[in-house]
């Protein structure tokens, strides 16, 4: 389970910026006003690994209980 949570966390961190949908301002430029875009070169997404684990368990419990049993 720890490895799966780690992989999901890496995926969230890697793809979060690409998946945000900025709006265009009046000049046709992207407006990231709703996003923290300071020093985006090394920005990290803040999320809780325990929260990822809880949501993963909830998903597996509903959809794939046999897989949940294997992972725990």
* pLDDT tens digit sequence for 18-45: 666 555 556 666 555 555 555 555 555 5
User: 56 vs 13, which has greater pLDDT?
Assistant: 56
61 near 68, Cβ under 8 Å? yes
Total structural domains within the chain: 1
pLDDT value of residue 68: 93
pLDDT value of residue 21: 57
Residue 27 main-chain phi, psi, to 5 deg: -100, 5
Here the tokens at position 65 are: 């209980």
CA dihedral 29, 22, 4, 55 (to 10 degrees): 170
Q: What is the DSSP letter of 36?
A: -
Predicted structure pTM score: 0.57
**Domain limits at 61?**
2-71
Query: Which is it for the CA torsion 4, 10, 11, 16, positive or negative?
Result: positive
């Amino acid at each position: 389970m720890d490895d799966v949570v780690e992989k999901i966390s890496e995926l969230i961190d890697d793809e979060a910026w690409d998946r945000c949908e900025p709006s265009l301002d009046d000049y046709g430029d992207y407006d990231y006003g709703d996003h923290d875009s300071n020093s985006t070169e090394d920005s990290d997404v803040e999320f809780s690994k325990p929260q990822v684990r809880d949501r993963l368990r909830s998903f597996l419990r509903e959809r794939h209980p046999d897989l949940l049993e294997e992972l725990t």
